[in-house]
């Protein structure tokens, strides 16, 4: 519900100048709250994405298959899971399949960390930090565009 409210607030603020709303004010505190809402949404999005992906790939698609009593099947499932994880990220590389191997490698590392510790929080921390750091430049750009920081 909070995410919905933030999205509605951001869209309303962005569309208000286009429709010529005369009720729009130039109150600086409104701009600060809008800036904060956009930055909060932008910074939480990569973390929520990591949460969904890790529960899907590590917990559901990796741990729930009944192959763990056979080493070869378990190893194969771990590698296939990592390759599918890489394939899901194909749009990050403009459709270049070969470049998804970097994400498949990261998926394999996270699979092994999850299987070794049996704790999703280690994987969530790795994946969430990675996504947050990769999204950092976007957050800085949004901050600059919204006028929260002057260069």
Terminal Cα distance for the chain, rounded: 34
Tell me what pLDDT residue 23 has. 47
User: Is pLDDT of 1 > 50?
Assistant: no
Tell me what pLDDT residue 80 has. 92
Tell me what pLDDT residue 13 has. 66
Residues with Cβ within 8 Å of residue 47, at least 6 apart in sequence: 128, 131, 132
pLDDT digit string, tens, across residues 63-73: 888 777 888 88
Distance, CA of 67 to CA of 69 (rounded, Å): 6
More reliable by pLDDT, 54 or 28: 54
Tell me what pLDDT residue 95 has. 82
Tell me what pLDDT residue 21 has. 46
Tell me what pLDDT residue 66 has. 78
pLDDT digit string, tens, across residues 83-130: 999 999 888 778 888 888 999 999 999 999 988 988 889 999 888 888
pLDDT digit string, tens, across residues 3-51: 556 555 665 666 566 555 444 455 555 555 666 677 677 667 777 888 8
User: Is pLDDT of 82 > 50?
Assistant: yes
Distance, CA of 19 to CA of 15 (rounded, Å): 7
Q: Count Cα neighbours of 54 within 13 Å in the Cβ-side half-sphere.
A: 28
For the entire predicted model, the pTM comes to 0.63
The token pair that represents 119 in the structure block: 């704790």
């Amino acid at each position: 519900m909070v995410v919905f409210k933030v999205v509605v607030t951001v869209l309303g603020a962005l569309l208000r100048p286009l429709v010529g709303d005369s009720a729009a004010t130039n109150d600086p505190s409104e701009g600060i709250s809008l800036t904060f809402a956009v930055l909060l949404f932008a910074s939480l999005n990569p973390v929520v994405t990591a949460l969904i992906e890790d529960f899907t790939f590590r917990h559901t698609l990796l741990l729930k298959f009944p192959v763990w009593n056979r080493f070869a099947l378990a190893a194969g499932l771990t590698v296939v899971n990592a390759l599918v994880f890489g394939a899901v990220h194909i749009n990050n590389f403009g459709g270049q399949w070969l470049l998804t191997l970097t994400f498949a490698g990261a998926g394999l590392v996270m699979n092994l960390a999850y299987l070794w510790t049996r704790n999703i929080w280690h994987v969530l921390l790795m994946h969430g930090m990675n996504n947050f750091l990769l999204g950092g430049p976007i957050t800085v750009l949004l901050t600059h565009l919204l006028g929260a920081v002057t260069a």
